[in-house]
Structure 1
Amino acid sequence: MTTLLLPSTGRVLVLRFALAACLLPCSASAQSDGSVTGQVINEATGNSLANAVVALAGSSNSVVTDRDGRFLLLRVPAGPQSLNVTYTGLNPRTVAITVTAGLNNVPQVALSSEIYKMDSFVVAGVREGNSLAIAAQRNAPNLKTIVATDAYGNLADGNLGEFLKRVPGIGVGDAVDEVTQVRVRGAAAEHTAVTMDGTRLPSPQAKGDGREFAIDQLPADFIERIEVIKAPTPDMDGDAIGGTVNLITKSAFDTQRRYLQYATGANYRTLGKMTSYFGSMQYSDVYGRERNLGMFLTASYSETDRPQDYLQLEYDQPAGVPNLRSFRLQPDYKGRKRTGAGLRFDYRLSANSSLSAGLMYNYYEAIDRRRRWTASINNNATGRLPGATSTDITLTAGQEQMQSQEILTDQQVFSLQVSGKHRLQSGSLRLDYGAAYAPAKSWEDQSLFQVRGQQNQRRTLSREPGGFFITTQLISGTDILSYNNARQVDFTYQPGRSSEDIWGAHLNAQKNLPTALPAYLKAGFRIRGQSRERSTDRWEAIYRSGANGPYDANRFKLTVGDRSSARLFGGRYLTLVVFGDAKAAVSHFFQNPAEWNFLAVDAVTRSMQENGEVSEMVSAGYLMGDVRAGRLGLLAGLRMEQTNISAESPKFIQIRPALPSSAPIDQQVARVRQEWAHSVKVKSDYQNWFPGLHARYGLTQGLLARASYSENIGRPPFGNLKPLTSISVAGLSVTQNNTALKPQESKNYDLSLEYYFEPVGVLSATVFKKEIKNFISSINTPLTAELAAQYDVERDYIGWDFRTQTNSGDGEINGFELAYNQNLGGVARWLRPISVMANFTKSKGKGRLEGVIPAIWNLGLVYEQRPWTFRIQMNHQDTYLQEANVDPFLRRFKMEQDNLDLSLQYRFRPWLNPFIDFQNVLGEKIQQTQVDGLYLPRTLIVIGKRINFGVKGRF
């Protein structure tokens, strides 16, 4: 299927006008004009200054320094001239030069400030990082938020998600102190792109086929600063409805000198009283007679223990009255280990040419142990006494269930990037190019052991008014203190493997135009390939114990010392059953298969339904232009992306006549494998056009206005692209993916005001709107002859339930952002040690959009006066719709959340800085409710508080 989306005539006219503005008025440069080149550095630190502004006095001719602090100013009239050099947080400087025809080199321009003279010990800390980020944000042609990774203090476990949750416009969902995914401006995590130096990274998932990126699995020590791009320009990928989080890696040329930096310490969890450890190292140096070879090396290790107390309630509504129907206790444990390494080389061929190569490796281990005890009613309205409510119920046909689940995950990600930059034609032509390859693999072993009780319990459940906690009493019936009393004891074991490869290349050319107004044209192309393959196996079996056989199921009980036997919620509950050992049950099955009833047919069928592979190739080209007329800057362009998809999955073809249920199990397994021994391949493609228009206007010296229009898309999840069909004979249903799904489309509008003040600070206000269409939604309808022909489903299933996905419905996200960040030295000299930050994001979704958080705000204060650094930070997320449903009773809401963090550091020496961080000081809990307009508490998760302590330093 080919979808061709051309921009409207009105947009084409706007783009033509904007590009024409780059060419008019045209005038040949005078033969006597020259060009001026040089470098700007920080006098106190010796570091090069990127995004310093070098302007020709008395004209609108200006340029911004590159990452190495170098600049090239064209069309400078011959004779005596003055250059005004400015940089956020540093004193401006005027340099007098005499220009001749050709290239003119000026001596290194060094900038400084009273702040650095006041305390040279902290010059490489928060102030310099903030200055770099604010300068880059101020000079960007489009709307973005740029933050240095040292802006918010130590990162717990090096988790970049903990950093990003403090950036305006970013939400992290139900995470408290372990952020795994981020979303920008209310868009789902799968529609937020994460790149490293502009290149996508893989995020393999052994379970699930989404496009979400696991941000917690990257080593933070390799990252210098982060760009949150909210209004993309045409030279950027078009598939990020929410926005793009671009991670800029560190370079040895950033500091131009040798250093070794380290950090080591421990994490302590108050819940469970668990301790884990972390450590990291960074080394940077510049080599060669001309100091033109830079190397940056980093290595890190961190481990995290995260126990949690989990409680869940379920409701139904017979006769329209909400009834409590289920109560679950769940002592969980999540353990994480991450080992990361990064290496980057930069080689400067000349002042106008450079090459770079970067390597990154990340190994991630995780273990999730989930123990569940549940008391519930059968799925009928007669299993309760009359008068049941949402707070009190007496079950008359209740049952207990115990589940022990263990999920082991290993993931490896490798990334290689090479790139080059060149200035040609006396600097008027810039070329940059690069290539990247990033393979990743993931392994997951999932074991689930279940003890299902008899459905004969009379039990009371009583919920405290307005709260979560339940009082329960077993009046009569069979318990499962002995597993042999159970109706059924079973296990499921499912190992899964997933691989994902991303590769790509790009070439960009930017040409300065010989016009009276500073202008350039930029064109380029990018190709990006992405493939994901997934395979699973599965075993299911019922133990022959109790009514099913003579064997003793109590052999699978865990030892008393396991945490699952501990008291939960501060001693309120003692778990009401001894939990089972899932790994022991799996091992016993393979060693003693005769004691189990192997459900081979179900296992084979379910494993085949999750297998398959998808390949996606995106080829893109763009053209854009930029022109500056005094205080006005205008960038406009058009991008085209061609997407080609190839997917393959197993296909089920039933063999008739069916085997009788009495057939031997090996024959049934052979038959079902034969029925799944087919595959189906499909190909699809679509084409999208992305216009972009970005205007910026300097109202005053420090006040900047921006306006942007852009378009982008959100591609369907990989799982929806597989041509998979599953058939349930028992349920009389056919489920099939719609491989012809189109991407979701978004039109984005942004307006902002940004005020930059000295010494280091910015105050900004932004309003935004996203108009989204082609939502991907599920449909369930009787299979007709027309649908059977359209989706290539056998006619024998006509009349059965047919489930698939389709593009339908529109939505809208709009809101505003306020952000403030300042060192208070500009207010009063005695306030120089204090920096403050605050931001507020208000979002509103139309169309029952999941995950749109109505309000997010952050507050922060840093006091930095040698030898002390104190930091306090607060993050708030409002209540939001977490799970949408057409039935209001089934809608689920994540409750508001406040997280307070404190940090203290003491500097004995540059190489010895002990620190301590307190996270979740308020002991915030994760809470979920359900039903629009009616408070029904559903989920409560307690994770406790966390203390990180250690020492760090720099040589």
Structure 2
Amino acid sequence: MRRFLLTCGLWAATALHAQTQTQTPTSKDPDPKSKETPEKLDKVEVNSRATDESRRRASTASKIIISRDDLLRFGDGNLTDLMRRLPGVTPGGRPGRGGEIRMRGMGGGFTQILVDGERMPPGFSLDQIPPDQVERIEILRAPTAETGARAVAGTINVILREPLARNLHEMRASVGGDHGAPQANLSWTRNDTLAGGLNTSLTVVGQSQRRPDLIDTRQQGPGSLLTTQQGHSEERRNSLNANGRLQWRLGEGEQLMLMPFWVVAQTRNSSQWAQTGLSRYDAVHSEGDGSFNSLRVAGNYQKRWSETTRFDGRLSGGQTRLTSHGQRFETLAGTPVRIQDDQSTNRDRVLNGTFKLTQQTATEHNWVSGLELERNQRDNARTTLENGQPKPGLSEFGDELRARTQRLALYTQDEWQATSQWNLHAGLRWEGIESRGDAGALVGEVRNRSSVWSPLVHALWKPNPQARDQLRMSLTRSYRGANLNDLIARPSINNQFPSGANTELTPDRAGNPALKPELATGLELGWEHYLSKGGMLSANVFARQIQGLIRSVISLESVPWDAAPRYVARPRNLGDARTAGLELELKARVDELWAVEALPLQLRANVSLFTSQVEGIPGPHNRIDAQPRFSANVGADYRMGAWSYGANWSLTPEILIQQTETLTSRTSRRSVVDAYVQWVQSRALTWRLGLSNLAPLDSLSQTVIESGAGPLVSTDRKPSFTTWNLRAEMRF
């Protein structure tokens, strides 16, 4: 608590000092030579931020906008690494290896991820979108009726590149290294303005990656070492991404846009490790390959019916196909004892329709009402063979799973500029989801239906319309529905103990068709102060009260796929939970904060403090899954002439979570230092060198289960590596 109060006090003092600095007159006789270069650079920097700053200030609901220049600054190879520097975002996984994107430290799907305003199709990951394809990222801390209420922690909206009003031809080529393994990337972007009011944009990105890794897993029982796994693995991935925009100006206030998006990827992986502690085998070798193909086409039609009425309709459809084939070879003293062969094909077909009507009135009201329709069809075919024969028990579930999800949403919202000081935003959204699936002859058809009403209210208050301060307030209701895999899932058998009795550390996994959505009531209070030269200070307090928290629970069950009772992990609705936090952000030039000569040094920092509690689980570590106590970023950028330099330090402390009454998880501290150097050789050529994870730390994940005989401990240690990337950016 003392650290919390001290942090708040220091931040408030900095803000007060910054306000004082903005009122301090500049010197009457500045040295023109000393300020010549900084003044020129300052003008460029402020102009690049003007649009994003105005969007953020004008939004009644809290919104953070990350520009394309900020996204590409460090030359990151994937969006997950890029997002760890964003305010309030704490990605999981190791640096350079991807992972789940979390806002406010809340894992398990509490964060809504959108691409061009639409939810990503099942099986799609943000890591499959190269940063070169992104125009900007919008972070919404609170849900709105229009963007959707499935955003307990918040929403991250990734906007892909848009057509420009001028011709532009860009090419980027990069090479890099990850633990001695080469990486390569080549991207091409073309913008054209054609006859007939047609603007086009096309971006194509090709990537080749190789990621070596180490395996080090240990399982310990009361006073003894049970098993160890030590070895190495490698993954190779080649991908091709393409997205385009075709925009037609059909007439005054009327336009049509087509947006195709395509991803194809091929992966190969292999691993080999020595196993101790088991009598069945002492070594494992596995080989696998897979392919991913996703195609989505969206069409957007906008028509201004009158000076005050606008219609917006959007239709999209797509298909995602994921195939994989893996073989696992177990040997004992060099003699083969077991071969497991897994083949699976997942296909998701999605259709979306969004229609909204916007009405502006003379009394400063902006009324938006809309309808959303979605249908998702999933076909899953999986075959598991053990020594050439079907896996006992699993055949009763069938080799194919067919499931579908249908969603209907209706909403209306009104944004009202009541006075020059007050903006009010009120909305109401109803959303219903129905999931059905055929889980095989043993289970039969599974059906789950849920619906949620979500009232949402936001307010923006400017104490003085001519000043640079504004306050935000939000009271919302959001929810998280169970995903299809949690509702309808063919059992996944643990490979270490494929038959007979297993342990609590090695459970099988299965779904739960009785899951209900988690409901959350949220409160946001925020303050923003904009400095005179483009900088900003902000503080935001949030709270969430969650009902029906979903968490995976391990229990001993009599299962149809084995004669012996097995430990099985299934998602279940537990009790209620609550979480709260404080988020602080600073972006400013040095001379905006202190009375110094103009210096082209940009400072940025964000600190987020979190607390949470899950009822029914003993404390003090009964927190929301994967939520740290805090996360922090500190960075600086320096620009002089044609050269730019920058660095960033990201820190997340050790995470200790009491998952259930008997299960505790621990994740090690994460500290990442990044740096970059940029040289603008000419208007047509820029060079950029990015260095990531300069002080690598091992990543340690530990699970402790309190059993009747004593604690069972599973420890997984993986190294992280320094990566580098050299990029040439060309414009024609």
TM-score (norm: length of structure 2):
0.84
Show the 5 A alignment for 1:244-643: 244-253=155-164, 256-269=165-178, 271=179, 273-288=180-195, 292-317=197-222, 322-376=223-277, 401-425=282-306, 427-452=307-332, 480=333, 483-484=334-335, 489-515=337-363, 518-541=364-387, 598=388, 600-602=389-391, 605=394, 608=397, 611-628=400-417, 629-643=419-433
1:753 Cα deviation after fit: 0.5
Match of 2:80 among 146, 161, 164: 161
| Letter matched to residue 532 of structure 1 | R
Distance 2:720 2:492 in 1: 39
Gap change, CA 1:415 and 1:530, over 3 Å in 2: same
Residue 48 of structure 1 corresponds to which residue in structure 2? none
- SS of alignment partner, residue 252 of structure 1: coil
Query: How far apart, in 2, do the equivalents of 1:718 and 1:165 lie?
Result: 28
State whether residues 251 and 294 of structure 1, in contact with CA within 8 Å, keep that contact through their aligned partners in structure 2.
no
**Structure 2 residue 683 is matched with structure 1 residue 764:** no
Change over 3 Å in CA distance of 1:365–1:128 after alignment to 2: farther
Structure 1: how far apart are the matches of 2:726 and 2:598? Answer: 28
**CA distance change for structure 1 residues 935 and 448 in 2, over 3 Å: closer, same or farther?**
closer
Aligned position for 1:896: 669
Counterpart contact for 1:622–1:639, Cα < 8 Å? yes
Hey, what's the Cα distance between the residues in 1 that align with 2:489 and 2:80?
34
Residue 752 (structure 1) aligns with:
526
Tell me what 1:812 maps to: 578
Change (3 A) 1:725 1:307: closer
Deviation string 1:769-791 (CA, Å, 9 cap, x unpaired) is 1111112346678999xxx9xxx
SS state of the match for residue 284, structure 1? strand
Distance 1:831 1:331, change over 3 A: farther
Q: Is the 8 A contact 1:529 1:618 kept in 2?
A: yes
RMSD: 3.4
| Alpha-carbon separation, structure 1, partners of 2:301 and 2:85 | 33
**Quick one: distance in 1 between partners of 2:59 and 2:611?**
27
2:587 to 813, 821, 832: 821
Measure, in 1, the Cα distance between the counterparts of 2:694 and 2:134: 27
Q: Alpha-carbon deviation of 1:241?
A: 2.1
Q: Do the aligned residues in 1 keep the contact of 2:221 with 2:712 (CA within 8 Å)? A: no
Pairing partner for 1:704 from 448, 470, 473? 470
Task: State the match for 2:14 in structure 1.
Answer: none
Tell whether the 8 Å contact from 1:307 to 1:943 is kept in structure 2 after alignment: no
Q: How far apart in 2 are the matches of 1:191 and 1:339?
A: 30
Checking the alignment, whether the CA contact within 8 Å between 1:310 and 1:942 is kept in structure 2 is no
**Are the equivalent residues in 1 in contact too, given 2:74–2:675 (CA < 8 A)?**
no
Find the counterpart in structure 1 of residue 10 from structure 2. none
Within the alignment, does 1:694 sit opposite 2:458 as a pair? yes
Cα deviations by residue, 1:834-884 (Å, 9 ceiling, x for unpaired): 222111111122123321122111111111222101111111111113683
Larger radius of gyration: 1
Q: Which residue of 1 aligns with 2:134?
A: 223
Q: Distance in 2 between matches of 1:299 and 1:734?
A: 41
Q: Do the aligned residues in 1 keep the contact of 2:60 with 2:472 (CA within 8 Å)?
A: no
Render the CA deviation track for 1:591-628: whole Å, top value 9, x for unaligned. Answer: xxxxxxx4x24267269467412211111111222222
How many residues are treated as equivalent by the alignment?
Answer: 673
Q: Find the aligned partners of 2:238 and 2:631 in 1 and give their Cα distance.
A: 30
> Aligned to 1:138, what secondary structure does the other structure show?
helix
Q: Measure, in 1, the Cα distance between the counterparts of 2:629 and 2:705.
A: 15
Distance 1:149 1:608, change over 3 A: farther
By how many angstroms is 1:951 displaced?
A: 1.3
Q: Counterpart of 1:850 in 2: which secondary structure?
A: coil
Letter in 2 for 1:280: S
Distance 2:74 2:246 in 1: 25
- Aligned to 1:919, which of 679, 682, 692? 692
Q: CA deviation at 1:726?
A: 10
1:277 positional shift: 1.3
What is the Cα deviation at residue 225 of structure 1?
0.6
Cα distance, 1:703–1:935 mapped onto 2, change above 3 Å: farther
Q: Separation in 2 of the partners of 1:335 and 1:915?
A: 25
Q: In the alignment, what sits opposite 1:546?
A: none
Report the equivalent of 2:90. Answer: 171
- Alpha carbons 2:38, 2:598 under 8 Å: kept: no
**What is the CA distance between 1:139 and its match in structure 2?**
1.2
- Cα distance in 2 for residues equivalent to 1:708 and 1:509: 24
- 1:768 CA drift (Å): 0.9
Distance in 2 (CA, whole Å) between partners of 1:529 and 1:811 is 31
Separation in structure 2 between the aligned mates of residue 801 and residue 912 of structure 1, nearest angstrom: 59
**Is the aligned partner of 1:845 residue 2:602?**
no
C-alpha contact 1:157 1:302 (8 A) present in aligned 2: no
Mapped partners of 1:850, 1:617: distance in 2: 28
2:85 aligned counterpart, secondary structure: coil
* Residue of 222, 238, 249 corresponding to 2:149: 238
Q: Does 1:644 find its partner at 2:434?
A: yes
**Deviation sequence 1:224-244 (CA, Å, 0-9, x none):** 111112211112222222222
Q: Secondary structure of 1:812's partner? A: strand
Cα–Cα, structure 1 residues 607 and 406, in superposed 2: closer, same or farther, change >3 Å? farther
How far does residue 347 in structure 1 lie from its aligned partner after superposition? 1.9
Cα distance, 1:223–1:740 mapped onto 2, change above 3 Å: same
Deviation at 1:529, TM superposition (A): 1.7
Amino acid at match of 1:371: Q
Once the 2 structures are TM-superposed, how far is the Cα of residue 122 of structure 1 from its aligned partner? 9.2
Residue aligning to 2:25: none
Question: What is the Cα deviation at residue 281 of structure 1?
Answer: 1.0
Larger proportion of strand: 2
1:834 corresponds, among 580, 597, 601, to 601
For residues 853 and 345 of structure 1, the distance between their equivalents in structure 2, rounded to whole angstroms, comes to: 43
In 2: Cα distance, 1:723 partner to 1:921 partner: 41
CA shift, 1:117, in A, is: 10
Q: 1:634 offset after TM fit, Å?
A: 0.9
C-alpha displacement of 1:150: 2.0
Q: Which residue of 2 aligns with 1:134?
A: 53
> In structure 2, what is the Cα distance between the partners aligned to 1:913 and 1:402?
50
Between the aligned partners of 1:182 and 1:940, the Cα distance in structure 2 is 21
**1:271-315 CA distance string (max 9 Å, x none):** 3x22221111111122337xx321111111112222123322221
**Structure 2 unmatched ranges of 5 or more:** 1-34, 615-621
8 A Cα contact 2:76 2:82, kept in partner? no
Q: Tell me the CA shift for residue 330 of structure 1.
A: 2.3
2:350 alignment partner, SS class: strand
Of 511, 517, 522 in structure 2, the residue corresponding to residue 743 of structure 1 is 517
Give 1:906 shift: 1.3
Contact kept? 1:306, 1:943, Cα under 8 Å: no
Give the secondary structure class of the aligned counterpart of 1:537.
strand
Question: Partner of 1:133: helix, strand, or coil?
Answer: helix
SS of the counterpart of 2:53?
A: helix
- Which is further off, 345-354 or 524-533? 345-354
Unpaired stretches in structure 1, ≥5 consecutive residues: 1-113, 205-212, 379-397, 453-479, 542-597, 653-678
- Asked if 2 retains the 8 angstrom alpha-carbon contact of 1:764 and 1:820, the reply is yes
**CA–CA distance in structure 1, aligned partners of residues 686 and 626 of structure 2:** 40
Partner residue in 1 for 2:21: none
- Is contact 2:76-2:690 (8 Å) kept? no
What amino acid is the match of 1:162?
Answer: D
TM-score by length of 1: 0.65
SS at 1:183 equivalent: coil
Match of 1:684 in 2: 448
